[in-house]
């Protein structure tokens, strides 16, 4: 199984699928179809005759049931795109066998190391096989590890027809990294009653709750006057923007929060004396606290307008997604099945909230309850990304065990 996983993972990460947040098309980049087409062909070769990719770059396929009794149709999903944060072109992975627990030289030419001092979690994987970047790109384990794990599990089932299972649905999505992954996903067509995304982090993670999320754009109108003659006349929009930001709680920023703590995150600030624009993402697991955060943004805007004049601040705000917990709790047995599967493959479950979102969070509100399972990687979206091959193997085993547990219902 390890060799199959490694071959598939290498194949998938060598296909550039980086998403583009500035694009007005869907998917945001046509090159995502390159991986989609490869996956469809592989699924057809496995015998999944309905495997296809549609014009929105959604891959879907069905592994028919081989048992007579009626069990819930379940799905497994992962996303094909990689993050826009760093290049996904020309990925050159390093493989470190029998890791010794020391710093890893990932790029000889640049003398770039993956250091234990910076990433102490490396110590958890002594003796295992680690796959790293070469320090010039991301690795793409988010979420091509998830794809490789699903594909390996399905291939294993097709090669072992003696293993009993219900109907299994497979789905691969584009543009998850830019928040559009299920914009056009047809839940009814997909046909699963419950599903799981393979898009989590380290081995053992199981998540059924995530942030409530909103986006806010703050536009600031200043007044530019020659600085030599500007006393009591100039309004510097950048200074006003800084004042706006300073009125939000300092310790409610991402760099000071963890676990269930929410935040305001200033992600972009462009400006001149005359005009500025600031972009925020607002996050909280608790729905009421989330609503209160949005209100605070508006209240600060009102204060600035009273101080400098109406129209100084204009705010555009929109919700992005909500905490899937609300939709998963009524069918909590799907979390318990995943938890039991993790235990039965010899791993300690780590049930914790996602400090972000997944395709599953939105799918849960579209009628498809969808917890998230670990894919095994670390340090996503950057040059220090790595993944233990053994974690990928465990994720694949969890998929197979979940399928087995549903078949026994």
pLDDT tens figures, 174-211: 999 998 999 999 999 999 999 999 998 999 999 999 99
pTM of the model: 0.89
Q: Clarify whether residues 70 and 198 are in a common domain.
A: yes
- Give the C-alpha separation, 338 to 336, whole Å: 5
Q: Are residues 30 and 136 in the same domain?
A: yes
Q: What pLDDT, on the 0 to 100 scale, is given for residue 288?
A: 96
CA 398 – CA 373 distance, rounded (Å): 9
Q: What's the pLDDT score for residue 88?
A: 87
CATH code for the domain in which residue 96 is found: 3.40.630.10
Strand partners, 172: 59, 78
130-181 residue pLDDT tens: 999 999 999 999 999 999 999 999 999 999 999 999 999 999 999 999 989 9
Q: Compute and round to an integer the Cα radius of gyration of the chain.
A: 23
Q: What is the CATH number of the domain that holds 278?
A: 3.30.70.360
- Do both 282 and 349 map to the same domain? no
Tell me, yes or no, whether 301 and 158 share the same domain.
no
Q: Which of the following is catalytic: 16, 42, 81, 149?
A: 81
Catalytically annotated residue among 176, 209, 359, 385: 176
Mean pLDDT taken over the chain: 95
Is 102 annotated as catalytic?
A: no
Of 290, 320, 350, which residue is a domain's last? 320
Return the pLDDT at 1. 86
242 close to 222: Cβ distance less than 8 angstroms: no
- The confidence score (pLDDT) of residue 200 equals 86
pLDDT at 60: 98
Residues 101 and 121 in one domain: yes
Measure Cα distances from 373 to 133, 295, 338 in Å: 23, 33, 8
Q: Are residues 366 and 339 in the same domain?
A: yes
User: How many whole angstroms separate alpha carbon 335 and alpha carbon 106?
Assistant: 37
Q: Is 81 a catalytic residue?
A: yes
- CA distance linking residue 277 with residue 283, whole number of Å: 20
The residue segments making up the domain with residue 315 are 212-320
Task: Identify whether residues 74 and 155 lie together within a single domain.
Answer: yes
Mean pLDDT value of segment 92-113 = 93
Give ∠ CA 11-13-14 in degrees, rounded to 5.
65
By C-alpha distance, which of 175, 143, 133, 180 is closest to 31? 175
Q: Does the structure show a pLDDT above 90 at 409?
A: no
Read off the pLDDT of each residue in 236-258 and give the average, rounded to a whole number: 96
Same domain, 85 and 138: yes
| Cα–Cα distance measured from residue 138 to residue 72, given in angstroms and rounded to the nearest whole number | 37
Q: Do 72 and 184 fall into the same domain?
A: yes
The last residue of one of the domains, among 320, 354, 378, is 320
């Amino acid at each position: 199984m390890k060799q199959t996983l490694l071959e598939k993972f290498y194949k998938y990460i060598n296909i550039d699928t980086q998403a583009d947040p500035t694009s007005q098309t869907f998917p945001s980049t046509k090159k995502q179809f390159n991986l989609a087409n490869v996956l469809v062909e592989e699924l057809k070769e496995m015998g999944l005759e309905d495997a296809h990719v549609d014009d929105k770059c959604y891959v879907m396929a069905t592994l028919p049931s081989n048992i007579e009794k009626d069990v819930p149709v379940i799905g497994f999903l992962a996303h094909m795109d990689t993050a826009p944060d760093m290049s996904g072109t020309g990925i050159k992975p390093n493989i470190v066998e029998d890791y010794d627990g020391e710093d890893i030289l990932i790029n000889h030419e640049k003398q770039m190391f993956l250091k234990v001092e910076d990433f102490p979690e490396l110590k958890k994987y002594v003796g295992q096989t680690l796959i790293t970047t070469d320090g010039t790109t991301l690795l793409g384990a988010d979420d091509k590890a998830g794809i490789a794990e699903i594909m390996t599990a399905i291939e294993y089932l097709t090669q072992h027809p003696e293993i009993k299972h219900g109907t299994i649905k497979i789905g691969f999505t584009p543009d998850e990294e830019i928040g559009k992954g299920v914009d056009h996903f047809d839940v009814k067509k997909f046909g699963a009653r419950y599903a799981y995304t393979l898009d989590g982090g380290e081995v053992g993670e199981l998540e059924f709750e995530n942030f409530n999320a909103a986006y806010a754009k703050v536009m600031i109108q200043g007044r530019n006057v020659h600085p030599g003659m500007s006393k009591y006349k100039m309004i510097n929009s950048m200074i006003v923007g800084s004042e706006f930001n300073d009125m939000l709680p300092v310790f409610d920023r991402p760099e000071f929060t963890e676990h269930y703590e929410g935040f305001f995150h200033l992600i972009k600030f462009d400006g001149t004396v005359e005009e500025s624009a600031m972009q925020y993402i607002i996050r909280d697991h608790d729905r009421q606290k989330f609503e209160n955060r949005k209100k605070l943004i508006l209240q600060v805007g009102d204060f600035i307008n009273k101080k400098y004049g109406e129209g100084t601040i204009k705010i555009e705000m929109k919700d992005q997604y909500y905490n899937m917990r609300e939709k998963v709790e009524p069918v909590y047995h799907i979390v318990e099945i995943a938890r039991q599967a993790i235990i039965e493959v010899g791993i300690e479950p780590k049930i914790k909230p996602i400090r972000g979102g997944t395709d599953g969070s939105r799918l849960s509100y579209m009628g498809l309850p969808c917890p998230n399972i670990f894919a095994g990687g670390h340090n996503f979206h950057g040059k220090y990304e790595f993944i233990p091959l053994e974690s990928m193997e465990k994720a694949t085993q969890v998929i197979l065990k979940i399928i087995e547990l549903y078949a026994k219902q």
